[in-house]
Amino acid sequence: MKRYIILFIAQVFLSFPSFGQLFSTQTGETSFFSETPVENIAAINKSVGAMLNTATNEIAVGIKMTAFDFPNKLMKEHFNENYVESEKYPISMFKGKITEAIDYAKNGTYTVTAKGQLIIHGIAQPRELRGTLTIEDQKITLINNFDVKLVDHKIDVPKLVFTKVAEVIAVKSKYVFNPYVKK
């Protein structure tokens, strides 16, 4: 499935008129944390697909929702069946553009903002995500943290467990991009 995510993202990029240098990863990491007085919920997905076009600054990220690992099976089941409805909405995405001018040929660390659409639970929301982009030879690392309000993506929490799930979820991501090689 992760191969299909990266192929889908590559298809999006290859449809743009300017190709430039493409960088990709299939092993990006995205984690989230929900903190409440009753219970904390944490999960991580280490098979996130992402692409970066250094000629246009466009970025796309695809996250298979069922690939999140949880501390226990019941949390994973509730997440996929009751909250994000993974059967109906199997992939969450961010598609946008880094707004800063970056010299990708030069090693360094940059504070960046990506403006685009965050799609979770089938609901697209305009977002500006801030992060740190580090260039080291032919490797580009992007790290960012942001919050997701469940109400923004029409994710309903059953009244029975509303005290166990935060209304705002903290998300952390790390993507290590390498030059894209078409397979």
- Helical residues (DSSP H) of the chain, grouped into ranges: 2-14, 73-78
- 128 touches 115 (CB < 8 A): yes
pLDDT band (50, 70, 90) for residue 6: low
Residue-wise pLDDT for 27-66, tens only, equals 999 999 998 888 899 999 999 999 999 999 999 999 999 9
Reduce the DSSP state of residue 77 to 3 states and report it: helix
CATH classification of 2-179 is 3.40.50.300, yes or no?
no
Q: Which residues contact 154 (CB under 8 A, 6 or more apart)?
A: 121, 123
Domain boundaries, the chain: 2-179
The pTM for the full model equals: 0.87
Give the C-alpha separation, 177 to 51, whole Å: 7
Q: pLDDT tens digits for 158-181?
A: 666 667 788 999 999 999 999 998
Q: Are 2 and 24 contacting, i.e. CB atoms less than 8 angstroms apart? A: no
Q: Which two tokens stand for residue 49?
A: 């697909």
